[in-house]
């Protein structure tokens, strides 16, 4: 049963990622469906932080849809943007502190598998998802690091299809970063030109 759930979730999440890079609003529908399947799968194998993360993905999918829905009105169009190095530093420090606290809680109160790594990838996935919904360019860089760390979690649990998906995510994160960076530069040039 877990194998079938894993395959279904992987396919839905891969469709989500492809549509996200193309900035298609339908991405959020596939992301929410893939997340719902993933919640059950991760809970059943003891990756509790991952389960919590995918619950969050359901909500961030709804949030992302609401933000991107405004895209139909050019005046409200959500553009790809950047944030300062100072904000990135605060984001990273906050993420590390939250991951340490969550890791300690899961280590102390559950039978979680690899609680600190699970908490680290989960915490930073919360952050990256929020940045992604807001179309912050650096969200892709966060995903590159997060997905690289996540490979170990999935390998330990023999989640072969998720591991393959995560490798694909890394490649697509590079593609997404390059694509969004080009679009950001074009938007910036158009603003400066006008």
DSSP 8-state code for residue 70: G
pTM above 0.75, yes or no: yes
Output the pLDDT for position 51. 87
Tokens of 168: 């694909």
Name beta bridge partners: 136: 81
CA distance 107 to 86: 32
> Each residue of 1-14: pLDDT tens digit?
788 988 999 899 99
**Distance of alpha carbon 134 from alpha carbon 1, whole angstroms:** 36
| Exposure class string for 3-33: b at 16+ Cβ within 10 A, else e | eebbebbbbbbbbbbbbbbebeeebbbbbbb
Cα–Cα distance for residue pair 35/193, rounded to 1 Å: 41
| Element containing residue 94 per DSSP (H, E) | helix 85-109
pLDDT at 136: 94
Tens-digit pLDDT profile for residues 117-143? 988 998 999 999 999 988 999 999 999
User: What does the pLDDT read at residue 194?
Assistant: 55
Mean pLDDT to the nearest integer, 161-182: 92
Residue 116: the pLDDT is 92
Give the distance, in angstroms, between the CA of residue 125 and the centroid of all CA atoms in the same chain. Answer: 5
Average pLDDT over residues 90-115: 92
Give the domain ranges of the chain: 2-74+82-193
Confidence class for position 72, pLDDT limits 50, 70, 90: low
For 31-54, what is each residue's pLDDT tens digit? Answer: 999 999 999 998 888 777 788 889
């Amino acid at each position: 049963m877990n194998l079938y759930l894993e395959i279904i979730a992987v396919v839905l999440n891969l469709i989500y990622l492809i549509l996200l890079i193309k900035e298609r609003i339908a991405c959020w529908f596939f992301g929410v469906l893939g997340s719902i399947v993933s919640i059950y799968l991760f809970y059943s194998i003891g990756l509790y932080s991952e389960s919590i993360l995918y619950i969050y993905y359901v909500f961030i999918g709804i949030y992302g849809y609401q933000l991107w829905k405004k895209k139909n009105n050019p005046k409200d169009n959500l553009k790809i943007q950047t944030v300062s190095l100072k904000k990135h530093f605060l984001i990273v420090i906050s993420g590390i502190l939250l991951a340490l606290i969550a890791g300690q809680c899961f280590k102390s109160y559950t039978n979680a598998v690899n609680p600190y790594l699970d908490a680290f990838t989960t915490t930073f996935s919360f952050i990256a998802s929020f940045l992604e919904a807001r179309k912050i360019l650096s969200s892709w860089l966060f995903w590159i690091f997060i997905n690289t760390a996540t490979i170990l979690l999935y390998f330990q649990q023999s989640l072969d299809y998720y591991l393959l998906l995560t490798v694909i995510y890394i490649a697509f994160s590079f593609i997404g970063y390059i694509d969004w960076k080009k679009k950001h530069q074009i938007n910036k040039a158009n603003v400066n030109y006008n």
